[in-house]
Amino acid sequence: MAPRRKTPAKPLPRFDPEPSLRFAVKVLNDVGAEYALIGRVAMWHWLDDPGDHEYTKDVDFAVGRDVTPAVVERLRSSADATVRLLPIGGVNARIDSSGIRADFVDRSSEEYGDLNPLYVDAIHAANLSEDRASGVPVASPEHLVAMKIGAGTEKDDRDAIRLIAKIEDLDVDKVRELIKKHLGPGTVGRLDECMRRAGHPKARRAYSAGS
C-alpha cells in the first residue's frame, strides 16, 4: 500500500520587531514624547530564553494620554500609514508594504479601565533606568506584571504567570505596591492567584471561609 500523503506543516509565523521599533521611536521622538516599550517584545527582553518568546505581530509602547493626539496627527501625516484608535485607549499604526505594526497605548479608556497613571509610572521608571531593548527604554518586569494583572484577560494572566515564574529577581513587593496604588487593593488577590499558579514562594494562601 502506498504511503498516505501528509499535509505539509505550515511554517511558524515570525515577526521581526526592528522595523516597527524604528518607526514607532521616530514617531514618538518627532512629537517629543517620553515612552516605554511594553507588551510581548518587552517580555522577550526580560525572558532571555528564546523558547519563552511567544509570537507577537506588533510592538507596543506605553504613552501618556496627553501624547496620543499628537501621535495620531503625526501618523495621519504619513500617506502610507493606516491609523486606528484602540478601544482601550491609544492608537494602532500599520504600514502593510513595510510589515510595520505598532501600538501606542495609553490605556485611558473608562470602559476598559483607566490605567494611564500606571503606564505613566512605567514610562518614568523606564527612562530613569539603564535597561534598554534595542536601545529603547523598556518597562520593568514589575510594571509589566502590574499591567498584565490590570488588563485582566486570561492571556494577560498567563503572561503575568510566566514573568513571575521566570524572573528570579522580580520584586514582588514592588508589584504589590504598584497594584495597590494604581489598580486598587481589591486587585492584589489576583496577583496572589497568579503567584500561586507560578509556584512563587511569596504567594499568599488563598482565603477560604471558615479557615
33 & 117 share domain:
yes
128 & 163 share domain:
no
The answer to whether residue 209 sits within a structural domain is: no
Specify whether the CB–CB gap between 82 and 58 falls below 8 A: no
pTM of the model: 0.88
Cell 502610507 locates to: 80
Confidence at residue 50, expressed as pLDDT on a 0 to 100 scale: 61
32 & 127 share domain:
yes
3-state secondary structure of 45: helix
The answer to whether residue 2 sits within a structural domain is: no
**C-alpha–C-alpha distance, residues 178 and 102, integer Å:** 26
Q: Which residues of 47-69 are buried (b: 16+ CB within 10 A; e: fewer)?
A: beeeeeeeebebbbbbbbbebbe
Indicate the pLDDT class of residue 1, thresholds 50, 70 and 90: very low
Q: Percent of the chain, pLDDT > 70? A: 89
Average pLDDT, the chain: 89
173 & 125 share domain:
no
Specify whether the CB–CB gap between 105 and 169 falls below 8 A: no
C-alpha 144, offset from chain centre: 6
Q: Percent of the chain, pLDDT > 90? A: 73
- CATH number of the domain encompassing residue 34: 3.30.460
- Residue 82 CB neighbour total at 10 angstroms: 12
Specify whether the CB–CB gap between 32 and 74 falls below 8 A: no
The answer to whether the Cα torsion of 196, 125, 58, 46 is positive or negative is negative
Per-residue pLDDT tens digits for 105-122: 999 998 888 999 999 999
57 & 160 share domain:
no
134 & 146 share domain:
no
The answer to whether residue 3 sits within a structural domain is: no
132 & 151 share domain:
no
Per-residue pLDDT tens digits for 154-178: 999 999 999 999 999 999 999 999 9
Indicate the pLDDT class of residue 4, thresholds 50, 70 and 90: very low
Confidence at residue 53, expressed as pLDDT on a 0 to 100 scale: 65
The answer to whether residue 205 sits within a structural domain is: no
> Number of structural domains, the chain?
2
20 & 123 share domain:
yes
**CB burial of residue 9 (10 Å; 0-12, 13-18, 19+):** exposed
Query: What are residue 84's DSSP bridge partners?
Result: 92
Residue span of the structural domain in which 25 resides: 16-138
80 & 183 share domain:
no
Per-residue pLDDT tens digits for 125-141: 999 999 999 899 999 99
57 & 107 share domain:
yes
Per-residue pLDDT tens digits for 22-31: 999 999 999 9
